[in-house]
Amino acid sequence: MPRFKLTIEYAGTRYSGWQIQKNAKTIAGEIDRAVREVTGRKDFELYGSGRTDAGVHALGQIAHLDVSTTLQPHVLRRNINDELPADINILDATIVPHRFHARHDAVSRRYVYQVSERRTAFLKPYVWWVKDPLDLSVMRETAKHFVGKHDFRSFAVAERDAENSSSLVLLERLDIVEDGALRLFVIEGSHFLWRMVRRLVGVLVAVGSGEVSSPDAVAWLREQSPVPATLTAPASGLFLERVFYKGDDRDVPPAHVGHTR
C-alpha cells in the first residue's frame, strides 16, 4: 500500500476545523469522503501534520495518505480535487517512504496572521480588521521577548492540550511585516498549543493599540494570567502557511493572501 504525501490549501471559513467530527463539516472529513469516492476504498489512513481550528485556513497543510490504489500521484490528486468543494484543494501528491509521518516528522510550523488596518470589501473572511491605529515599533519590541523557549500556558487552552504534556514551546520567529494596510504576523515554532498563535496576536495588537502595556504582556510569560484568553484574535486571519521537514529550505519567504493599499 503506497503512502502519499499531500500538500493541501483550504479556506476554513465554512468548516469546523481539520479533524473529522461527528455532525460537523471538516477539512479532513471532506478529503476522506473524496478519497472514498475516487478509490472505492474504506480501509485507508489520512493523517494531518496538525489540527487547525474552526475557521482557520491553510496555504500548505501536509497530510499523509495510506491507500491501496494503482493511480499515479498526479492522477490521484486530480481525481480527488474533482470530488472536493472549491474551497479545498490538493496542491501536490507524491509517494513517500512509509517511515515518513506528516505530524511526527515535522520540525517546524509557520503561521501567518493577517491584520488589516482598513476596512476591506474583499478580504473580510481572511483578515482581522483592527480599527485602532497600531504602534508597530512597540509591537515589534514586545514580540522579541516571546522568541525563544518559554512557558506559554497563559496563551493556551489547557484543557484542550492533553496531547502536550508541557506548555513549554520553542518559538523560533515572531515578525511583524507591513504590506500596504496589512500587518502580517509571521510566527514559526516547533509546535503550538491550542489557540496560542491567536492569543499571541491578540495580545500584541492590544499592545499596539495601547490597551495593554508591553511590560504586562511580557510578564504573562512568567506568571499565569487569564487576560490573553480575553484578547484572542479571531480565526479569520490565521493561516497555516507552511510545515517544514528535515532538509526543507527554511529561508523561503512567507506567503499570504491579498494585498491592501
Which positions are catalytic?
53
Taking the CA atoms of residue 101, residue 107, residue 26 and residue 30 in that order, the dihedral angle to the nearest 10 degrees is: -40
224 C-beta neighbours (distance < 10 Å), count: 13
**β-strand 57-66 against 238-245: which pairing, if any?**
parallel
Q: ∠ at Cα 208 (232, 158), nearest 5°?
A: 25
Residue in the structure block whose three cell numbers are 491578540? 202
Amino acid (one-letter) located at 111: Y
Contact 242, 59 (CB under 8 A): yes
